[in-house]
Amino acid sequence: MLTFKKFFATLALLLVTASTCAAAETNFEPLAAGYVEGEKQILMLIRDGNDGELYFMPFDAEAETGAFIKFDRKIYDFYLNRDSDGTFSPLIFVMATPRQSDPVDDKLGVWNGDTHLIPVYALFDMRDGQFVFDAPNFYSGEETLTPSHYHSNIKNPIHDRLIKTLITKMPLLHADVEAKGLQLP
């Protein structure tokens, strides 16, 4: 239970500082969550009470940090679609995170104050029902949100865990959305 209290305290801090927020009084509502009891990562689906926008929020309790990723059906359903060869397409999205103590990824993406906006190109596979990541597997571009080539490795272990949380917890988030009967765009 302490983990979830820390989660909501950190969520409040992130909501005030993240670039996805128009103002400090933005009101976010948790809608669904994908997590495994005892693990330190959770994926939430949240709604901005001011404009109704949806966001994914992977959170890592160990690092006491999270990220915002604007909801997109392609991201939500990424693991349900394989190409004709049976492989998955790369998952591409922009992740907003607070400044990290390790500056190794600071040149990736762009900065908006202390909010780091990182374009992500994530490679993954699924074997025996489990997501697998054959390193290197997460890439980005430098000094842009729309790289023509994702050629820079994402190296910060916190960013790595947040991306893996988004990917590995998505089926659990789907299950919670379905159990709650939520209708998503």
pLDDT single digits (tens) 88-130:
999 999 999 999 999 999 999 999 999 999 999 999 999 999 9
The 3-state DSSP class for residue 67 equals coil
Is residue 5 predicted with pLDDT exceeding 70? Answer: no
Closest CA to 174 of 61, 57, 77: 77
Rounded to two decimals, the pTM is: 0.86
173 vs 92: CA distance, rounded Å: 19
The residues facing 121 across adjacent strands are 92, 139
pLDDT, residue 26, reads 57
Confidence of residue 183 (pLDDT cuts 50, 70, 90): very high
pLDDT, residue 161, reads 96
45 vs 33: CA distance, rounded Å: 6
Give the pLDDT confidence of 13-31 residue by residue, as tens digits. Answer: 444 344 333 434 458 899 9
29 vs 97: CA distance, rounded Å: 19
Is residue 143 predicted with pLDDT exceeding 80? Answer: yes
74 vs 118: CA distance, rounded Å: 18
Is residue 146 predicted with pLDDT exceeding 80? Answer: yes
Please state, in angstroms and as integers, the Cα–Cα distance from residue 132 to each residue in 54, 79, 91, following that order.
27, 12, 14
pLDDT above 90 coverage of the chain, percent: 78
Confidence of residue 64 (pLDDT cuts 50, 70, 90): very high
pLDDT above 70 coverage of the chain, percent: 86
83 vs 20: CA distance, rounded Å: 32
**3-state helix vs strand vs coil in the chain, percent to 5:** 25, 35, 40
The 3-state DSSP class for residue 58 equals strand
Is residue 2 predicted with pLDDT exceeding 50? Answer: no
pLDDT, residue 38, reads 92
